[in-house]
Amino acid sequence: MSDEAVSDGAVGDDLLDSARAWLAQDPDPETRAELRDLVDRSEAGDPGATQELHARFDERLAFGTAGLRGEIAAGPNRMNRVLVGQAAAGLAAYLLERAHGVRQPSVVIGYDGRKNSQVFASDTAEIMAGAGIRAILLPRLLPTPVLAFAVRELGASAGVMVTASHNPPNDNGYKVYLGGDDDGSQIVPPADGEIAAHILRVAAELSVAELPRSSDYEHADESIVDAYVEATARVADSGATRGELSVVYTAMHGVGWETMRKVLQRAGFGIPTTVAAQIEPDAAFPTVSFPNPEEPGAMDLSFEAARAAGADLVIANDPDADRLAVAIPDPGQESGYRRLSGNEVGSLLGWRAAEQAARTALASGDGGATGTLACSIVSSPALAAVAAEYGLDFADTLTGFKWVSRAPGLVYGYEEALGYLVNPQTVRDKDGISAAMAFLDLATGLAAEGRTIADQLTSFTERFGHFASDQISLRVDDQGDIGRIMSRLRAEPPASVGGTAVLRIDDLSDGFEGLPPSDVLRIRLADGSRVMVRPSGTEPKLKIYIDSSSTEGSALERQAVAEAAVTRLAEGMRALTAL
């Protein structure tokens, strides 16, 4: 149907038939009622209702390497119980096919505190059990890292985590992990496509109301949480000398605090001052418009609490606690605190991991340090410099921990979006709780020497060079704008950016230097700087990552040169990507 027909309020029989068929299988009274209202209004000639039906039924929320994620509402292009039921049945069929009848597949299921998370998890458990899968539901709402840990700890064939991580309040999602040879990592091709094919078959051939269900699924007990707590506490060096630090913590209305507190106590750290208004799970996220520590204003209450406590450090988890944000005192900021970038935290933790690898090698007498440091291609080149200094292997991966976690010989991995993997022997995914343990271990060790995290950042610059980064997020209303910008950059590649000559542009869409194909452009500049451009995998925006470095002069001179280059490049990229 044309846009003109839609705007006139016209509605086709196919659209209404699809909506009615969805209504017939929807077990959720809330989404059923709002879809019924849309159908009635569309039949009465309301063009807005018809437009909304097209938005929900003309496309389907795609299942990919990030699983599913979207706004909670009725229809195949939204998150709801029908879509989750189809996903569960499709995943069950994939697991049965993969098992080849040799053994009964198993799946462990977790959920966070978002709207409908527990409902989606229970639906998944019932449908999995009804399909003959051994289904194990975690005992209550818990962080995503606990689910990732449980897949390995229980030897499960797969894991499902119901979460939308740091997305807006009315979103939810469905993240899938695989056990066995995948070692508890998130799915990657071709598994995502094979699961998606099963889901589409279920959607085409079966009604969710007709799917076999069973209440014969298991509930995991507290021992799985205890095992995670014990393993995660070991990230901190229990024998190290620790200085006293005043710390503020926020869970960002998510599920991190209960588990974080247990790990802190088990590791021997003091209990931090908490941001009371954000410490308990709340699906409405009442104090933040966007529950992502990277977003402007999201950590304002944390800074307020830190000023009142005179805190040396602020640590924050996102709502499902798989990310970590850190802030340190900075009198130059209006709030009195500066949130460190993901690259700054990632580089410091990478240096810590390299030091640990070197100490282990020295103690064993087996020669130099071994292992791999890994980060995503859009993260800072600083980690590669650390790896080179310590004689460690380094791996560039595509964006996402589904790729970082698969780096051979991994001892540490991160990506700039506040994700860190500090204990790959325990969890094969980013983990904001174990990362907090590693960072507190670093910070308290420095405090014992009379030094701060700011001092350590200066030491990093002096040893490895200064690595400056910036990121531009171009949010769009029309998803097609992203494709148009990417096409324009490919068809008309710039000769310079911000006055700096372009040496070459690597198009990763057909794969590049061993990396799988990805919709990414990497721009190499004559001064050694780098710009990465890619569409976001979870939100309607284009993301641009800018990195520059300097190893000449004093720490302050290195910083000034690198940051000036990043500023010029950011201005140039804004001009090149203007709509």
Task: Say if 237 falls within a structural domain.
Answer: no
Q: Are residues 131 and 198 in the same domain?
A: yes
Rg of the chain taking only CA atoms, in angstroms: 24
Q: Phi and psi (nearest 5°) for 23?
A: -55, -40
Burial 107-125 (b: 16+ CB within 10 A, else e): bbbbbbbbbbbbbbbbbbb
* Bridge partners of residue 469, in order along the sequence: 547
Task: Say if 226 falls within a structural domain.
Answer: no
Asked whether 436 and 261 are in contact (CB, 8 A), the reply is: no
DSSP structure class, residue 114? S
Q: Are residues 35 and 68 in the same domain?
A: no
Question: What is the residue whose two structure tokens read 């299988």?
Answer: 25
Q: What is the pTM of this model?
A: 0.94
* Bridge partners of residue 186, in order along the sequence: 177
**Cα atoms in the 13 Å half-sphere on the side-chain side of 490:** 16
Q: From first to last of its 579 residues, what are the pLDDT tens digits of the chain?
A: 333 333 334 456 899 999 999 999 999 999 999 999 999 999 999 999 999 999 999 999 999 878 999 999 999 999 999 999 999 999 999 999 999 877 899 999 999 999 999 999 999 999 999 999 999 999 999 999 999 999 999 999 999 999 999 999 999 999 999 999 999 999 999 999 999 999 999 999 999 999 999 999 999 999 999 999 999 999 998 788 999 999 999 999 999 999 999 999 999 999 999 999 999 999 999 999 889 999 999 999 999 999 999 999 999 999 999 999 999 999 999 999 999 999 999 999 999 999 999 999 988 887 788 999 999 999 999 999 999 999 999 999 999 999 999 999 999 999 999 999 999 999 999 999 999 999 999 999 999 999 999 999 999 999 999 999 999 999 888 888 999 999 999 999 999 999 999 999 999 998 888 888 999 999 999 999 999 999 987 678 899 999 999 999 999 999 999 999 999 999 999 999 987
Tell me whether residue 165 is one of the annotated catalytic residues.
Answer: yes
Asked whether 272 and 247 are in contact (CB, 8 A), the reply is: yes
Task: Say if 323 falls within a structural domain.
Answer: yes
Q: Are residues 290 and 151 in the same domain?
A: no
Q: Are residues 326 and 385 in the same domain?
A: yes
Residue 538 pLDDT: 66
Residue 103 pLDDT: 87
Q: Are residues 99 and 175 in the same domain?
A: yes
Output the domain CATH number for residue 137.
3.40.120.10
* Measured distance CA(200)–CA(195) in Å, rounded: 9
Q: Are residues 448 and 476 in the same domain?
A: no
Q: Which domain holds residue 337?
A: 245-464
Domain boundary among 440, 464, 488: 464
Output the domain CATH number for residue 550.
3.30.310.50
DSSP structure class, residue 295? S
Reduced to 3 states (helix: H, G, I; strand: E, B; else coil), residue 177 is: strand
Q: Are residues 370 and 459 in the same domain?
A: yes
Task: Say if 375 falls within a structural domain.
Answer: yes
Asked whether 357 and 367 are in contact (CB, 8 A), the reply is: no
H helical segments located in 66-166: 81-99, 117-130, 144-153
Task: Say if 229 falls within a structural domain.
Answer: no
Domain boundary among 206, 221, 236: 221
Total domains, the chain = 4
Asked whether 90 and 198 are in contact (CB, 8 A), the reply is: yes
Task: Say if 344 falls within a structural domain.
Answer: yes
Q: Are residues 185 and 148 in the same domain?
A: yes
Q: Are residues 485 and 567 in the same domain?
A: yes
Q: Are residues 410 and 272 in the same domain?
A: yes
Q: Are residues 389 and 311 in the same domain?
A: yes
Q: Which residues touch 435 (CB under 8 Å, ≥6 apart)?
A: 324, 345, 349, 420, 421, 422
* Measured distance CA(138)–CA(108) in Å, rounded: 7
Domain boundary among 429, 464, 499: 464
Q: Are residues 293 and 424 in the same domain?
A: yes
Amino acid symbol at 52: E
Residue 100 pLDDT: 82
Task: Say if 356 falls within a structural domain.
Answer: yes
Question: What is the residue whose two structure tokens read 């200094």?
Answer: 389
Task: Say if 377 falls within a structural domain.
Answer: yes
Q: Which residues touch 299 (CB under 8 Å, ≥6 apart)?
A: 250, 293, 314, 316, 325, 327, 339
Choosing from 42, 106, 117, 165, the catalytic residue is 165
